[in-house]
Amino acid sequence: MIVTIDPARCLGNGLCESIARDVFEVSEDGRGRVLVGRPADDRRAAIDDAVRMCPTQAIALQG
Amino acid sequence: MTAIPHYQPLLELEPEAVRCPHPYFERLREESPVVWIEELSCYAVTRHADALEVLRNPELFSSRMPTGPKAMNETMAVLQELLMGSPEMQQVFTEGLALGVTSVLLNADPPMHDRQRNLVNRAFSPRRVQSMERGIREIADGLIDRFVDAGRCEFVHDFAVGLPLTVIAGALGVPDADLATFKRWSDDFVVAIGNHLLTKERLGEMLKSQVEFYEYFTKKIEERQAQPGDDLISDVVMARIDGTEPLSTQEMLGMFSQFLVAGNETTTKLLASAMLRLLEDPEMMARVRADRALIPGVVEEALRLEAPVQGLFRVATADTHVGGVAIPGGSSLWVLYASANRDACEFPEPDQLNPERPNSKAHLSFGQGVHYCLGASLARAEARVGFEAIFDRLDDIQLAPGCSLDYEPSYILRGLQQLPLRFSARR
Q: Do A15 and B121 touch (CB under 8 A)?
A: no
pLDDT-flagged residues of chain B (< 70): 1-4, 99-101, 192-197
**B7 phi, psi to nearest 5 deg:** -90, 10
pLDDT, position B10 = 81
ipTM confidence score:
0.91
The answer to whether B127 contacts A28, with C-beta atoms less than 8 Å apart, is: yes
**Is B362 an 8 Å CB contact of chain A?**
yes
Answer whether A11 sits within 8 Å of B370, measured CB to CB.
yes
The contacts of residue B85 (CB under 8 Å, 6+ apart) are none
Residue B399 β-bridge partners: B421
Identify which of B118, B359, B372 has the shortest CB distance to residue A13.
B372
Residue numbers in chain A where pLDDT is lower than 70: none
Query: Which SS3 state, helix, strand or coil, does residue B318 take?
Result: coil
Which is it for the CA torsion A18, A22, A26, A27, positive or negative?
positive
Task: State residue B100's pLDDT score.
Answer: 58
Asked if the Cβ–Cβ distance from A55 to B125 is below 8 Å, we say no
A-chain residues near B361 (CB < 8 A): 15, 53
pLDDT reported for residue B196: 54
For residue B240, the tally of other CB atoms under 10 A from its CB is 9
For residue B391, the distance in angstroms to the closest alpha carbon of chain A comes to 23
Burial-class residue B230 by CB neighbours within 10 Å (0-12, 13-18, 19+).
exposed
Kindly report, residue by residue over B351-370, the tens digit of the pLDDT: 999 999 999 999 999 999 99
Nearest CA in chain B to A46: B358
Which pLDDT does position A59 carry in this prediction?
Answer: 97
b/e code A34-59 from CB counts within 10 Å (16+ = b): beeeebeeebeebbebbbebbbbebb
A24 interaction partners in chain B (CB closer than 8 Å)? none
Predicted pLDDT of residue B131 = 92
Of B311, B285, B239, B259, give the one whose Cα is nearest residue B399.
B285
pLDDT at position B1:
42
